[in-house]
Amino acid sequence: MKTIFVKPQSVEKKWYLIDAEGKNLGRVAVAAARILRGKNKPEYVPHQDMGDNVIIINAAKAAVTGNKVLDKKYYRHSMFPGGLTTESYGELIERKPTYPMEHAIKGMLPHGKLGRALYTNLKVYAGADHPHMAQQPIVVEL
């Protein structure tokens, strides 16, 4: 058997649309990361950008189970002594409605040059409107 290598220039990138309203944040993030990585294609290779573009709408309305709205914490540091800032999921979703979804997906991608390149194919919107209708995205049902 011959191993088939697909040149990155010949990969046809499709657009996928995921509506996160009422759906579990983690399950939406897994589906998006899988499409971004290209694992849904038969010609997947782990060292190339074979993935497609993903649009996520209604990211602010994604559901979390249990008491995560109050208990789940996000941390950031200003790099000054005593500069650790802690925010709960509920506080963060009010300040930056798309950040929890972006953060979850970014953590599921490779950590390096390839992961940063794959992350540019992700578009996350807090509401139902998005400017990518011309790309005719394929709706993904979860």
Distances (CA, A) of 137 to 30, 52, 112, 132: 19, 11, 28, 8
Enter the pTM of the model: 0.92
Q: How do residues 47-97 score in pLDDT, each as one tens digit?
A: 999 999 999 999 999 999 999 999 999 999 999 999 999 999 999 999 999
Q: CB burial class (10 A; 0-12, 13-18, 19+) of residue 120? A: exposed
Provide the pLDDT confidence category of residue 9 given band limits of 50, 70 and 90: confident
Provide the pLDDT confidence category of residue 1 given band limits of 50, 70 and 90: confident
Would you tell me how many other CB atoms lie within 10 Å of the CB of residue 109? 19
Residue 62 phi, psi dihedral angles, 5° rounding? -70, 145
Q: How do residues 39-58 score in pLDDT, each as one tens digit?
A: 999 888 899 999 999 999 99
Beta sheet of 122-124, edge-to-edge order? 122-124, 53-57, 15-19, 138-140
